[in-house]
Amino acid sequence: MSTILWIKNGRVIDPANDRDAVGDIFARNGVIVDSLSDQEKEKAQVIDASGLVVCPGLVDIHVHLREPGQTHKEDIASGTRAAAAGGFTTIVCMPNTSPPADNPGTIRRINDSITQNAVVKVYPTGCLTVQMKGEQLAPMGSLWREGIVAVTDDGLCVQNNELMRRAVEYARMFNLPVMDHCQDASMTRGSVMNEGYWSLRLGLKGWPAAAEDMIIARNVVLSRACEHHIHMQHVSSAYGVDIIRRAKKRGIRVTGEASPHHLFFTDERCRDYNTLFKMNPPLRSEEDREAIIEGVLDGSLEIIATDHAPHTADEKDCEFDLAPFGIIGMETALAACLEVLVHSGKCDLPFLLARMTHKPAEILNLPAGTLSAGVTADITIFDPDQEWEVDPSRFSGKSTNCPWNGMRLRGKVARTIVNGRTVWDGNQIIDT
Amino acid sequence: MAFPASGRPLNSLNMNDLTANWKRKDLLSIEPLHREEIETIHQLARRFKELQASNPSSIPSLRGRTVLNLFIEPSTRTRIAFEIAAKRLGADVTLVEKAASSLVKGESLRDTAQVVEALQADVIVLRHSAAGSPQYLSQIVKVPVINAGDGAHEHPTQALLDTFTMREHLGDSLEGKKVTILGDILFSRVARSNIFALQKLGAQVTLSGPATLVPANFEKLGVTVELNLRKALADADAVMLLRIQHERQTSTHFPSLDEYKSMYGLNQARGAWLKPEAIIMHPGPVNRGVELDSSLADSGRSVILEQVANGIFTRMAVIYLCLSACGKTKDTSQ
C-alpha cells in the first residue's frame, strides 16, 4: 500500500529549481512527484500550508552530535531531533567524538547508530589526522569506504603546512572535500574571545582575527596548488571573507560558510562574562559581523551552517576562562537568519533558503536540498513571520547552551518531513 | 587634609551619612561606579585613617562577622591588607587558598562558594586568575563579594587606594591631573581599574610602555597611548609603574628584562624628565632595577609605602560599606 502526501497552497520556494510560487507539493512513498491521480488525491494525507512557506528540508553541514563518547551533551537520537525541530532534514556530523572518527570502526558505529536512532538524514565526516593531533594522516580511504562525505579536524586545525598539503592531495583521490577550522594555534594559546576593544576592557585573553586569516590564506594557497576543494568552516573575520572572495574570483576551489551566531552577535555580548557567548571562532567586532553578512550576500560565503555544539549546563556554569567553547544552533538557525538577512530586507527568502538547502548539499555532494520530482520527500514548512520566544526548556536536543535563550525571534518551523513522513509537527517530535 | 562631601566638612559627616550613599552589596569592579561612590569610599577610608591615629577604640565594630578570603590565585600583600582591614574592624577572618581547598580536587567555584556561604561567611573577598569570576560568584551567593583581583580585568581596591593616595598628595581634586601608567598594561588589572577610577575623578590618563604591552586599542577607553617615554613622563603629576609580570607574559611580548630596563626602566636620568613634584607609585611587588631603580623607589618622590598603608583603610571602608548595604553593620551614628 502506498502512502500519498499532498501539501496544499503553500508558498513553494525551491531555489535549486528557481521556483517561488503558491502551489502544491506531492509525494508518493516518500518520493516527490509532479502530480497525483484523482484517485491518489482522495486518499492522500493533506497538509494545508496556506500562508506558510514550503521548501526543501534544510541542510546543515556542520553539526556536533557528540556520539560516541560525549553523549551526556548530545547523541544521534537527540541531535537529530533538534535538527528536525529546526527544520533540518539533512545534517553532517563532525568527527571530534570520543574516540575521534579517525578509524573505520568508529564510522561504522556512527552509521549503525544513525540507522537505529536518527530521525533526519545524517552523513558522517572523518578526521584528517589520527586522533586529530595534526601529526599523521588518518586512513581517509578506509573512512571513505565507510561512507564519510568529507574530512576535517574541526575544532582543531592542522598546523603543519606540509601535512596539510599531503592531506589535501590525499583527500582529492577520493573526491572528499576538506573542511577546515581555520585557526593558527600559535596565535590563540589561552585565548577565550575576540581580540579587540572588548577583550582589553574585560581583561580576557584576546584572539586576533589574523589567526583565522592566516589559515584561510594558507588554505587558498594549498587549494590552488593541489587543485582540490577546501571548505572554510564558520568564517568569522572580515579580512578572511575578503581572502575567500579574491580567491574565488581567481577560480580557486574554496568555499566558505557563515554561522548564524556570527551573523547575529558581536563580541560585546561577552561583557557580562556569559559563557553562552563563548565559542570558537569567537564572536567578533561589528565590522566583522557586517563583513560576514556582506560575504553571504555577495556569495563569497555561499552557505549557512550552525556549528551546533552542545555542552551541558554544568559544563557552561563556570568562570568564562574555564568554560568550553560552543553553542547550540539548529533550533534557532532559521529564525536567526531570517531576522538578520530577510526581515531586515538584506535579501529575499529564496536567496536565504538556497544557502540553507541546495548550496550546502552541493558543497559536500549530498543528495538533498531540492524539491525536484524523484528526490526523497524531505520538506520543511515554516511561517517566516511567526514570533516565538526561545525557551531552553522546550529544546528537543539534550543541551540548552544557546545564546538566543529568552529572545523573541520571527520565523517558526511548522512541520519537518523526512522521506514523506512528518517528524516535527511544529510542537513536538513525531516518533515512529 | 580632609575630603569634603557636598560642601560639608568631614568631621560633621557621621557613619550613617556615608553608608547612606552606598547601595552596593558587592564591589566587583570600578567601571560601573559613580564618582560619588568612589568619593564615599575615600571619605570613609579617610575617617578610618583618622580614627586609627586618634581613637582606635571608636572604630565601628564588625564583631561576630566573618570575612572569608577566597584566594584561588596566590597573593601576599592584597591578602594581608584585607586581613588586617577586617581585623581592625573586629571581624573574624578565614582564609581559603586553592592549594588547601577542595578546588584542587576539582570542586567548582560554585560549589566552593556555596559551601563557604553555608559556613556563614558574611563577605567573600575573591582573588582569582579568571577575569569576571567575582561577577559570576556574586550571582551565586547572597553575601557581598569583593573583588581582590580577577585575572587581567580589575583590581578595584588597588585603584581605590591608589587614587586615595594621589588625593593626599596632589590635592583633593584630581580634576585635570595627569597620571601616566607605565609598563605591562595589557595584562594588568591594576591599570584597568586605575584608568576607570582616574577618569571618573577627572584625571587624564596616559599609558606608556612597549607597543606589545600597550595596544593602541586602549585609546578607545578614552586614554592617551604614548609610547615615547620622555613625552609620556613630561607633564605627569604622578607616574604609576607596573610590575613586569614574568609569569604572565610569554617570551613574545618583549625581548628580555634587560631590554625592558634599557628602554622603559625608570631610573635617575629618566626621573629627571618628570616634574620635580611628581610622585612615583607602584602597586608592588617591585622588580627593583627593572621597571624602577632602587634609588627612586626609596626616594622622597616615592609614595609606594603610603600606598600599602592606605590599602588597609580603603579596604576597611569597602568591607564596611558592602556589609552596611545589606544591613550587617550596627548603627554607629554619633
Asked if A284 and A258 count as a contact pair (C-beta separation under 8 A), the reply is no
Q: Where are the beta strands (DSSP E) in A238-347?
A: 254-258, 303-304
Rounded distance between C-alpha atoms, residue B189 and residue A201, angstroms = 10
Rounded distance between C-alpha atoms, residue A312 and residue A276, angstroms = 11
8 Å CB contact of A200 and B186: yes
A9 and A141 part of one domain: no
Q: Is A369 inside a domain boundary?
A: no
The size of the A-B interface in CB pairs under 8 A is 61
Q: Does A85 touch chain B (CB under 8 A)?
A: no
A177 and A243 part of one domain: yes
Distance from CA of B85 to the nearest CA of A (A): 27
B132 → closest Cβ in A196, A317, A320:
A320
A261 and A384 part of one domain: no
* Cβ-proximal residues to B312 (8 Å cutoff; 6+ apart), any chain: B81, B84, B85, B88
CB A323: neighbour CB atoms within 10 A?
Answer: 22
If we measure between CA atoms, which residue out of B201, B153, B208, B200 comes closest to residue B180?
Answer: B208
Q: Does B153 touch chain A (CB under 8 A)?
A: yes
* Opening angle at CA A388, ends A78 and A349, nearest 5: 90
A274 and A140 part of one domain: yes
Domain housing A34 = 4-54+375-424
Q: Show which of residues 36-95 on chain B sit within 8 Å of chain A, judged by CB atoms.
A: none
Q: Does A272 touch chain B (CB under 8 A)?
A: yes
Beta pairing partners, B92: B66
Query: ipTM score here?
Result: 0.90
Domains identified in chain A, total number: 2
The residue among A191, A194, A195, A202 with the most chain B CBs within 10 A of its CB, best to mutate, is: A202
The residue among A335, A363, A391 that closes a domain is A363
If we measure between CA atoms, which residue out of A124, A165, A83 comes closest to residue A356?
Answer: A83
Q: Is A332 inside a domain boundary?
A: yes
A228 and A324 part of one domain: yes
Q: Is A370 inside a domain boundary?
A: no
8 Å CB contact of A197 and B152: no
Segments in B93-180 forming alpha helices (H):
109-118, 133-140, 156-170
**CATH number of the structural domain spanning residue A314:** 3.20.20.140
Q: Which residue of chain B comes nearest to A323, CA vs CA?
A: B130
8 Å CB contact of B129 and A189: no
Asked if B243 and B285 count as a contact pair (C-beta separation under 8 A), the reply is yes
pLDDT, tens digit, 9 for 90 and up, residues B109-134: 998 888 888 889 999 999 999 999 99
Residue with cell string 609606594:
B304
A8 and A68 part of one domain: no
Check the CA dihedral A41-A42-A44-A48 and report its sign. positive
8 Å CB contact of A205 and B152: yes
8 Å CB contact of A321 and B109: no
pLDDT, tens digit, 9 for 90 and up, residues B193-249: 999 999 999 999 999 999 999 999 999 999 999 999 999 999 999 999 998 876 655
Q: Which residue of chain B comes nearest to A315, CA vs CA?
A: B108
Q: Does B130 touch chain A (CB under 8 A)?
A: yes
Asked if A203 and B154 count as a contact pair (C-beta separation under 8 A), the reply is yes
Asked if A287 and A262 count as a contact pair (C-beta separation under 8 A), the reply is no
Helix and strand element counts for chain A (H, E): 14, 18
Q: A23 in helix, strand or coil? A: strand
- Polymer length of chain B: 334
Q: Show which of residues 294-323 on chain A sit within 8 Å of chain B, judged by CB atoms.
A: 317-322
pLDDT (average), residues B94-102: 77
If we measure between CA atoms, which residue out of A65, A80, A66, A64 comes closest to residue A119?
Answer: A80
Which residues of A does the annotation mark as catalytic?
Answer: 307
Rounded distance between C-alpha atoms, residue A280 and residue A212, angstroms = 11
- Reduce the secondary structure of B137-152 to three states and give it as a string: HHHHCCCCEEEEEECC
A46 and A70 part of one domain: no
Q: Is A284 inside a domain boundary?
A: yes
pLDDT, tens digit, 9 for 90 and up, residues B279-300: 999 998 898 989 999 999 999 9
Class of domain B10-155+311-325: alpha beta
Q: Give B132's contacts in chain A (Cβ within 8 Å).
A: 202-204, 272-273, 319-321
Q: Which pLDDT tens digits describe chain A residue by residue (432 residues)?
A: 579 999 999 999 999 999 999 999 999 999 999 999 999 999 999 999 999 999 999 999 999 999 999 999 999 999 999 999 999 999 999 999 999 999 999 999 999 999 999 999 999 999 999 999 999 999 999 999 999 999 999 889 999 999 999 999 999 999 999 999 999 999 999 999 999 999 999 999 999 999 999 999 999 999 999 999 999 999 999 999 999 999 999 999 999 999 999 999 999 999 999 999 999 999 999 999 999 999 999 999 999 999 999 999 999 999 999 999 999 999 999 999 999 999 999 999 999 999 999 999 999 999 999 999 999 999 999 999 999 999 999 999 999 999 999 999 999 999 999 999 999 999 999 987
B131 → closest Cβ in A189, A202, A318:
A202
A160 and A307 part of one domain: yes
Class of domain B157-308: alpha beta
Q: Does B110 touch chain A (CB under 8 A)?
A: yes
b/e code A2-40 from CB counts within 10 Å (16+ = b): eebbbbbebbbbbbbeeebeeebbbbbebebbeebeeee
A49 and A143 part of one domain: no
Cell of B4: 569634603
Domain boundaries, chain B: 10-155+311-325, 157-308
